[in-house]
């Protein structure tokens, strides 16, 4: 077993489960209230989670599945860049390319400091697609053996920013390489010892269409991360580092144990399924996605061999996205009471051939892999598991996130001069030379379609499903933020 159980107090375990889970929820509430863009404030296109010093996710909020399953790889990319381990600990099974960091905090050497924040969005270094920007904040506590603080874990948030540059507003163009999709941010320090790195900050804002909105949303993420750091430090101060560390590990072991129990209920065997994307957005040929799930006792191998090679268009998924779908599907088979953490992946071996549509190599375009291919991978996994668990698995969903992106410039008239006594309101001035300005905007939306039926009833309609968990922008918020007028907003009849 990857995670070893050492504690037998179930009441104490339940207390710590809720203590850990409450922190990402609070981070998310703060991020929503502090954000600027409708995509984050209204649609809730963000996720928050806590990680131990190894980069294993120990708690998450009920946010976006496609974010949460991938975020451990982002944190591990940050660890690889800024933390060095002094042992020969074997690599984490989550991703072979990233070295695992041992649980013992005394064995870590780091060039991170209290107040640092790492930023990244590189899909080939733990990201998903470029609009999803991840901030990772190290959590330090007093060291029992040194005057220097000790690295305890990480607080992280990921939010979809409506524009990060590239060929088209919204940063999801029909591209042939990732360079065309937008600004690529490797793991770098956005904040150093509490001070924003002006060079990195200015570089990011100089490469986006809506810098004011991006700055506001980044500040909201910084606030959310800081809240996560503070709450974890409060927990350690109250209960002690040793007990908090023990129960974090126990929760990982508990989820792993329950996942193994689930796998034992599935008859041993191999369950294969195949489905297709219509095309890659550039050509017209179908793109096959194949999976074979082999279950043996309390372990399973999820093998995507035989899936299409990476495509010219942007439907390519990086490994982090494929891991997210696997995590989501198997976690969904567990009960609501099971802690949400990467213990669910411990009994699973995930094979994603390099250079395929489910594990693309640089410089493949990947914007659609996050939002389109992830949904189809989910349906393929469910199709395979339906052969083993026919009474538990739903039919295919809409299979897409129906991305809508609109960008441009809105005309902003100058303010009216002060009105004198007895004067009536005059019409807004128009025309050249009258001070009319242009305000850039980018609007991002995913239109819900619904889920397939299941043995216990019909699927829900007009609801976001599977890898997305967002809302639609309310009409009032949309018209307030953008130069749009919504004439009709309704469910299309006869669409299933």
Structural domain includes residue 186: yes
Here the tokens at position 461 are 């309609």
Residues 45 and 123 in one domain: yes
Name the 3-class secondary structure at 151: strand
475 backbone dihedrals φ, ψ, rounded to 5°: -55, -40
195 backbone dihedrals φ, ψ, rounded to 5°: -110, 130
Residues 134 and 252 in one domain: yes
Q: Which of 48-62, 353-367, 380-394, 465-479 has the lowest mean pLDDT?
A: 465-479
Structural domain includes residue 144: yes
Domain-terminating residue out of 369, 388, 407: 388
Residues 69 and 195 in one domain: yes
Predicted model pTM: 0.88
Structural domain includes residue 280: yes
- What average pLDDT score do residues 274-295 get? 94
Q: Is the pLDDT of residue 420 over 70?
A: no
Residues 233 and 381 in one domain: no
Strands 132-141 and 150-160: antiparallel
Residues 176 and 273 in one domain: no
Q: Which of 37-41, 89-93, 187-191, 318-322 has the lowest mean pLDDT?
A: 89-93
Which residue spans within 92-165 are E strands per DSSP?
108-110, 117-120, 132-141, 150-160
The per-residue pLDDT for 417 is 61
Residues 218 and 119 in one domain: yes
Structural domain includes residue 350: yes
Could you give the CA distance from residue 148 to residue 371 in angstroms, rounded to a whole number?
43
pLDDT band at 105 (very low <50, low <70, confident <90, very high): very low
Residues 186 and 132 in one domain: yes
Are 39 and 444 contacting, i.e. CB atoms less than 8 angstroms apart?
yes
Q: For residue range 441-460, what is the model confidence (pLDDT) as tens digits?
A: 998 888 877 788 878 888 78
Residues 245 and 298 in one domain: no
Sequence-distant (6+) residues with CB within 8 A of 92 are 54, 55, 56, 76, 98, 99, 100
From residue 113, give the alpha-carbon distance in Å to each of 83, 142, 189. Answer: 11, 12, 11
Of the ranges 346-350, 392-396, 397-401, the best mean pLDDT one? 346-350
Sequence-distant (6+) residues with CB within 8 A of 270 are 292, 293, 294, 295
Residues 216 and 270 in one domain: no
Residues 294 and 153 in one domain: no
Domain-terminating residue out of 336, 359, 388: 388
Domain-terminating residue out of 222, 256, 290: 256
Could you give the CA distance from residue 99 to residue 90 in angstroms, rounded to a whole number?
7
Structural domain includes residue 324: yes
Q: For residue range 364-393, what is the model confidence (pLDDT) as tens digits?
A: 999 988 888 998 999 999 999 999 999 888
Q: For residue range 423-436, what is the model confidence (pLDDT) as tens digits?
A: 545 444 444 444 55
The per-residue pLDDT for 400 is 79
Structural domain includes residue 495: no
State the total domains in the chain.
Answer: 2
Structural domain includes residue 285: yes
Q: What does the mean pLDDT of the chain come to? A: 86
User: Which ranges in 85-210 belong to alpha helices (H)?
Assistant: 198-205
Q: Is the pLDDT of residue 216 over 60?
A: yes
Residues 154 and 190 in one domain: yes
The per-residue pLDDT for 8 is 67
Residues spanned by the domain of 357: 266-388
Length in residues, the chain: 496
Structural domain includes residue 476: no
Residues 243 and 292 in one domain: no
């Amino acid at each position: 077993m990857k995670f070893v159980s050492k504690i037998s107090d179930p009441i104490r375990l339940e207390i710590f489960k809720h203590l850990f889970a409450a922190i990402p929820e609070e981070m998310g509430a703060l991020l929503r209230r502090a954000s600027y863009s409708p995509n984050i404030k209204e649609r809730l296109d963000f996720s928050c989670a806590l990680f131990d010093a190894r980069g294993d996710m120990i708690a998450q909020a009920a946010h976006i599945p496609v974010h949460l399953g991938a975020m451990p790889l982002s944190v591990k990319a940050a660890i690889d860049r800024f933390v060095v381990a002094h042992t020969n600990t074997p690599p984490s099974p989550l991703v072979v390319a990233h070295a695992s960091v041992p649980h013992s905090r005394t064995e870590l050497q780091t060039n991170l400091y209290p107040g640092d924040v790492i930023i990244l969005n590189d899909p080939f270094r733990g990201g998903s697609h470029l609009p999803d920007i991840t901030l990772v904040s190290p959590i330090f506590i007093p060291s029992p053996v040194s005057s220097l603080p000790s690295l305890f874990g990480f607080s992280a948030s990921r939010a979809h920013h409506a524009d990060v540059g590239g060929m088209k507003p919204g940063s999801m163009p029909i591209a042939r390489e990732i360079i065309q999709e937008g600004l690529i941010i490797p793991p770098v320090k956005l904040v150093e010892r509490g001070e924003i790195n002006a060079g990195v900050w200015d570089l990011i804002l100089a490469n986006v269409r809506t810098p004011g909105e991006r700055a506001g949303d980044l500040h909201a993420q910084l606030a959310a991360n800081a809240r996560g750091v503070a709450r974890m430090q409060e927990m350690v101060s109250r209960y002690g580092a040793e007990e908090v560390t023990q129960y974090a590990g126990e929760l990982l072991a508990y989820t792993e144990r329950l996942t193994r129990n689930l796998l034992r209920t599935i008859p041993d065997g191999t369950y294969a399924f195949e489905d297709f994307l219509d095309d890659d957005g550039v050509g017209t040929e179908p793109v096959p996605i194949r999976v074979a799930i082999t279950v043996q006792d309390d372990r399973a191998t999820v093998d995507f061999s035989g899936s299409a090679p990476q495509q010219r268009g942007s439907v390519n998924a990086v490994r982090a996205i494929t891991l997210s779908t696997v995590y989501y599907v198997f976690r969904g088979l567990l009960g609501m009471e099971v802690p949400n953490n990467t213990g669910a992946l411990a009994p699973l071996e995930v094979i994603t051939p390099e250079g395929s549509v489910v594990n693309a190599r640089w410089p493949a375009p990947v914007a659609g892999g996050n939002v389109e291919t992830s949904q189809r991978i989910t349906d393929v996994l469910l199709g395979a598991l339906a052969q083993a668990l026919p009474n538990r698995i739903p039919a295919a969903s809409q299979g897409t996130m129906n991305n809508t992106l609109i960008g441009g410039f809105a005309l902003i008239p100058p303010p009216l001069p002060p009105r004198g006594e007895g004067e009536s309101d005059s019409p807004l001035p128009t025309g050249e030379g009258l001070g009319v300005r242009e305000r850039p905007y980018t609007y991002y939306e995913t239109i819900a379609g619904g889920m397939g039926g299941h043995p216990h009833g019909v699927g829900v309609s007009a609801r976001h499903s599977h890898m997305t968990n967002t809302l639609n922008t309310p009409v009032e918020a949309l018209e307030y933020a953008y130069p749009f007028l919504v004439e009709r907003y309704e469910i299309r009849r006869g669409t299933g």
